[in-house]
Amino acid sequence: MEKITLAHGSGGREMNQLLEEIVFSRLPSWMKLVEGGLGLDFPDDAAAIPLSEDKYMVLTIDSYTVNPIFFPGGDIGKLAASGTINDVLMLGGNPVAALDSIVVEEGLERETLEKILESMFDVFANLRVKLIGGDFKVMPYGEIDKIIITTVGIGISEYLIVDKNLRPGDKIIVSGPVAEHGAAIYAAQKGLMLEEHELRSDVKPLTDLMIPLIKKYGKHIHAASDPTRGGLAMTLNNWASLSNTTIIIDEEKIPVREPVMSYCQMLGLDPLTLASEGVAVLGVEEEYAEDMLETMHRIGYRNAEIIGEVREKKEEISLVVVRTSIGGYRILEPPVGEIVPRIC
């Protein structure tokens, strides 16, 4: 394509292809990571710099531009803080600090900005994450849509969870119902947010889940992600590709709440491609999977499920395969096109 489209920012196949062509393939290997750490050699939502033999600084950066900026279950401020914390957690880090950069459109109501900042500050404050720096700018009216927030997250880790370490025999666990955020945002964009649908974003930080799991199971967690843009489909396809494996999941095991499923069926959406902002997907050693699931239930994630397993790759390409509710099989492709525009 000669021009950038909205599909290139949706987190699916087009975005991965664009980044490979204009970023990853153009950088020499020495630029992609700090020696001993993790960077663009294996792209993830966070990177790591070694501090000592058994300690890493985990870093992440993300820009948030959601429409609408206030939505059922949250707003762009809560989204930015939660998303940044979760990206640190999914690499095995304990979040300790953040920075932000905020660009607003001329004419934005001061009250609106204050509400957004209050939401962001509340998330950081509740988790004792320090906001140690930032930037603020204003653009002329019409040159951006309301507000863009960029956040940097900083954490410390004793063990990195690197998705390429997923291996045959591992079990795939999701911590709760998927597609909540994507369904809520899409409904709000279309003006279809009816009360009976019970559609609310699941946006929240996952510190209460991930820190206990990392402490108890450590190196037995081989992969971790929060399935945001591109949803569960993109997360699992990335994992299969990075680890050179095949992943098989059971359709009936994937937790999707009935209101979300009904809404997706009504509008022809696939819940497996819709974003979640308060769900963790984990690849876990088989012998620890059941025990970890019980731990997740005790912590309060009662809808957590083991949804599948990792197999050796038998085809030339890595695949994600869904075992359907009627006993058949289908390939779960990476999402393409505009899934839900400007969800995060």
pLDDT, tens digit (0-9, with 9 covering 90-100), for 244-260: 999 999 999 999 999 99
Paired tokens of 244? 């050179």
pLDDT reading at 342 higher than 80:
no
**In what order do the strands lie in the sheet containing 329-331?**
221-225, 281-284, 171-174, 305-312, 245-250, 320-323, 329-331
Q: What integer is the mean pLDDT of 1-16?
A: 79
For residue range 117-150, what is the model confidence (pLDDT) as tens digits?
Answer: 999 999 999 999 999 999 999 999 999 999 999 9
How far is residue 165's CA from residue 283's CA, in Å, rounded to a whole number? 9
pLDDT of residue 197: 56
Question: Is the pLDDT assigned to residue 199 strictly greater than 80?
Answer: yes
pLDDT on residue 160: 96
Q: Give the confidence band of 305 by pLDDT, cuts at 50, 70, 90.
A: very high
Closest to 322 in 3D by CA, of 239, 247, 225: 247
Please list the alpha-helical segments (H only) found in the chain.
Answer: 13-22, 76-89, 110-126, 180-189, 207-217, 231-243, 258-267, 286-299
Amino acid at 265: Q
305-312/245-250 β-pairing = antiparallel
Residues in the chain: 344
DSSP result, 172-232? EEESS--SHHHHHHHHHHTT---GGG---------HHHHHHHHHHHGGGEEEEE---TTHH
- CATH 3.30.1330.10 location in the chain: 33-157
C-alpha distances out from residue 234 to 1, 3, 319, Å: 21, 23, 11
CATH of domain 33-157: 3.30.1330.10
Strand partners, 95: 155
Predicted confidence (pLDDT) at residue 196 exceeds the cutoff of 70: no
Q: Is-contact 206 228, C-beta < 8 A?
A: no
The whole-number pLDDT of residue 259 equals: 92
pLDDT given at position 311: 96
180's tokens: 């909540």
Task: Scan for tokens 């979640």, then name that residue.
Answer: 276
Query: Residue 76: which pLDDT band, with cuts at 50, 70 and 90?
Result: very high
Cβ count near 104 (within 10 Å): 19
Other C-beta atoms lying within 10 Å of the C-beta of residue 63:
12
Per the listing, tokens 């820009």 go with 63
pLDDT at 143: 94
Single pTM value for the model: 0.93
Q: Which residue has the higher pLDDT, 191 or 332?
A: 332
Q: Which two tokens stand for residue 84?
A: 């940044």
The rounded distance, in Å, linking the Cα atoms of 142 and 125 is 33
Over residues 155-171, the mean pLDDT reads 96
In CATH terms, 163-331 corresponds, of 3.90.650.10, 3.40.50.10860, 3.30.420.40, 3.30.70.120, to 3.90.650.10
pLDDT computed for residue 157 by the predictor: 97
Share of the chain above pLDDT 90, in %: 75
What does the mean pLDDT of the chain come to? 93
Which pLDDT score is estimated for 194?
57
Residue 283 scores a pLDDT above 70: yes
Name the maximum alpha-carbon separation found in the chain.
Answer: 57
Cα(80)–Cα(193) distance, integer angstroms: 23
Q: Residue 23: what pLDDT?
A: 85
The tens digit of pLDDT for each residue in 272-282 reads 999 999 999 99
Residue range(s) occupied by CATH 3.90.650.10 in the chain = 163-331
3-state helix, strand, coil in the chain (%, to 5): 35, 25, 40
User: Given a cut of 90, is residue 319 above it in pLDDT?
Assistant: yes
298 pLDDT above the threshold of 90: yes
Q: What is the mean pLDDT of residues 201-221?
A: 97
